[in-house]
Structure 1
Amino acid sequence: MVDETEAGKGRRTPTRKEAEAARKKQMKVPMTRKEQAKRERAAREEIRLKQREALKTGDEKYLPLRERGPVRKFCRDYVDRRWNFAEFLLPFLVVAFLIMIAGSTNANVQTVLTSIIYPVVIVGTLIDEFVMVRGLKKQIKQRFSPDDVKGNTAYAVLRTTQLRRFRLPKPQVKRGAPLAQRY
């Protein structure tokens, strides 16, 4: 005979499947705010690592938002396939600064540098940028839509001012290579 005075637990015993699901759910839910912050930091770091790798390889899926899209890829390829006067501007300025410091005793060196060479380099850069932007606008209008020109030319100009080896995303085309038909 069973003694009916004993109290039961008041609920049915969960199935094995339900018990395992409950345990897994407990493992996923952070116990404290610190633990949750730690998991979020780890997730952000993982995204950053994927983006950094994508900047090296050109993987479109993980690129940062400002670098994504067929128009931006086209702009990068358009800039990377040509020689740009602007990419040599910064090294020239560093060399000119060093010459100015080292040649400070010789007034002829400073005069030639500041009155002839420096303006020629600046004007050359401006002319090259003008030619590049004009050609880029024309190509974007042909391949995409006229609305895509805005913002992408500034992106391309900024890319030309960087030395080729330090550009991110890394150049995917060689200098002088023809542009692909599809993007």
Structure 2
Amino acid sequence: MFRRRDDASSAATALAEQDEKTPRDPQAKKGRPTPKRSEAEAGLRTRVTVPKDRKEAARQSRERMRSEREKQRTALLEGDERYLPARDKGPVRRYVRDYVDSRWSMAEFFLPYAVVVLVLSIVQVDILRLLSTLLFLVFFVLVILDFVRLGLGLRKALRERFPDQNTRGAVPYGLMRTLQMRRLRLPKPQVKRGERP
């Protein structure tokens, strides 16, 4: 008596496993009763295992965050796309990085030039102060013109390369990358200067 029920239930489970493997016609009946709501919700809920000790939970959280930061740092240094931060992921951002890294730009020399101008402005010679201020203004105008040139060229290249994708925020991302010196850029440049992206 009990054996027949076991045989029937094992046959039903084997049939259910076979049904899961083969695609089912959407119009056909499913061949099993609909589960109760409480049973379905119980299947969806997963029990979260939280340590009972608050200090232990904080320590685990710190360790998890530290490992994620370490993965991101190594990804930024090596260019591994899987663990990059969200702002650096995707083919559009990679193309923007390669586009910027393959060109010379005035903006990457802005910070070293600003330091030189700052040192010259401290000197007590009036002519050097005036000259440093004028040179800084000229350099600043050149950087802005370089930004405009690079931004227009990058926008055009993105329209040609990714016509159907969302490229929102890609041009400012590239312009901010040009402000960093090439050696200090993260993710590290993957192309040489003059190389086509």
TM range (shorter): 0.7 to 0.9
Q: Which protein has greater RCO, CA pairs closer than 8 Å, 6+ apart?
A: 1
Shift of 1:42: 1.0
Q: Deviations over 1:118-157 (max 9, x none)?
A: 2210111011111100010011111113663321111111
CA offsets 1:32-79 (integer angstroms, 9 cap, x no match): 222222112111111110000000000000001111011011111111
Written as runs of structure 1 = structure 2, the 5 A alignment for 1:81-160 is: 81-102=102-123, 104=124, 106-115=125-134, 117-145=135-163, 148-160=166-178
Identity across matched positions, percent: 44
- Which residue, 181, 187, 191 being the options, matches 1:169? 187
Structure 1 equivalent of residue 78 of structure 2: 57
Amino acid at match of 2:104: W
Q: 1:42, 1:166 → 2: CA distance?
A: 27
TM-score by length of 1: 0.76
Tell me how large the CA RMSD over aligned residues is. Answer: 1.6
Runs of 4+ in 1 over 4 A off after TM superposition: none
Q: Show CA shifts across 1:93-119 (max 9, x none).
A: 1101101112x2x2222222223x122
Normalising by structure 2, what TM-score?
A: 0.71
The worse-fitting range, judged by mean Cα deviation, of 143-152 and 51-60 is 143-152
Take 2:164 and 2:129, find their aligned partners in 1: how far apart are those partners? 46
Say how many residue pairs are matched.
Answer: 149
Where do 5+ consecutive residues of structure 2 fail to align?
1-48
Give distance in 1, aligned partners of 2:121 and 2:145. Answer: 26
Choose which of 58, 78, 83 in structure 2 pairs with 1:37.
58
Question: Are the aligned partners of 2:121 and 2:133 in contact in 1 as well (CA < 8 Å)?
Answer: no
